[in-house]
Amino acid sequence: MVRLHIKKDRIKPDNWPIGMSLRIVALADIHACTAWMNVPRIDKIVAQANALKPDIVVLLGDYLSGMHLMFKSLPHNHWAESLARLEASLGVHAVLGNHDWWEDLQAQARRGGPTMAGNALEEVGIQLYSNDAKHFRKDGYGFWLAGLESQLALLANRRIPRRGVVGLDDLEGTLAQVTNDDPVVLMAHEPDIFPEVPERVSLTLSGHTHGGQVRVRGRAPAVPSRYGNQYAYGHVVEEGRHLLVSGGLGYSVLPLRFGVPPEINLIELG
C-alpha cells in the first residue's frame, strides 16, 4: 500500500481578507472498498486529518468504489460512520462525485436524487451540498462555502461511460445564493468547471482526476478531463483565479499509483 502523503498549500487570493486565515482539510476520491480502502484505512485517514486541526473539512466526492467487478464495495453506513468522526470547528461539508451517481442504479433510473451516498452522509450529520451555498464567519470576517453537483452525474448508456453524460451542476444558480461581497470557496468534484468560474470565487477545490494516478516528470499519460493535464493536479492559477486539484486517496480503474501518492490536502487560505 502506498504511503499516505500530507500535501500542504498556502494560497493567498487577491480578494481574500487580510485578517482572515482559514485552515482547510480536503479529502477526495476515497473510493471505499473491502481491499485497500476498508474501514480501518478510512479510520486512519480520519485520525490524520483530525490531527491537522482544521477550521473546516471538505469532502470532494467519489465515496463509492466504482470497481465492483474486482472488489466489493463497503456498505454505505460503514464508510459514512468513519467520516462522521472528522472534527472541525466549522464543520464537515461534502459534495458528491460521478461514481456516487454512476453506482446508484435507482438514482440513474429516476434521473435525479436523492442518492444512497448522499443519504449516508446526511444520516451521520455531514452537510451535503448540491448546488448550494452557505455563509460562515471566521476571525470576525465572513465567507461563503458553495458546492456543485457532479458535472458527470447521469449516464445515457451505462455500457459506454462518458458517452452522453449529463451533468447536474448549476454554477450560476449556486453563486446566485451568495448575497454579499464576502469571498467564496467552491467545492466542485470535477475540475473541468474551472474555466467558467468567475473571479468572484476565491478558490475552487476539486478531485476526480487522482492526479492522473500515474505521473512522470509532472505529467500524466491519461487524465479523466477534457483539458488533459491542464487541471490534472495541484495548485493552478489562471487570470488571478485559483484552483486546487487533489490527488485523492483511492484508486479508479486500476489499483495503481506512481508519482502521485494518495494524499490529504491541507490548505492554508489567507
Cell of 177: 445564493
Q: Please give the pLDDT value at position 161.
A: 55
Sheet holding 132-138, edge to edge: 132-138, 141-147, 184-187, 201-206, 241-245, 234-238
Q: What is the pLDDT of residues 63-118, one digit of tens each?
A: 999 776 567 789 999 999 999 999 999 999 999 999 999 999 999 999 999 999 99
Q: What is the pLDDT of residues 223-243, one digit of tens each?
A: 999 999 999 999 999 999 999
Q: Which of 18-22, 158-162, 178-182, 229-233 has the lowest mean pLDDT?
A: 158-162
Q: How far apart are CA 69 and CA 73, in angstroms?
A: 10
> Quick check: 213 pLDDT over 90?
yes
* Confidence (pTM): 0.95
Q: Please give the pLDDT value at position 27.
A: 99
How is the chain split into domains, by residue range? 5-269
Q: Please give the pLDDT value at position 68.
A: 63
Q: What is the 3-state secondary structure (H, E, C) of 189-251?
A: CCHHHHHHCCCCEEEEEECCCHHHCECECCECCCCCCCCHHHHCCEEEEECCEEEEECCCCCC
Binned at pLDDT 50, 70 and 90, residue 51 comes out as very high
Q: Which CATH architecture has domain 5-269?
A: 4-Layer Sandwich (3.60)
> Quick check: 248 pLDDT over 90?
yes
> Quick check: 1 pLDDT over 70?
no
> Quick check: 155 pLDDT over 80?
yes
Q: What is the mean pLDDT of the chain?
A: 94
Cell of 182: 464576502
Mean pLDDT, residues 207-233: 94
Mean pLDDT, residues 147-153: 98
Q: Please give the pLDDT value at position 160.
A: 57
Q: How far apart are CA 32 and CA 126, in angstroms?
A: 17
> Quick check: 173 pLDDT over 90?
yes
3 or 269, which is more confident: 269
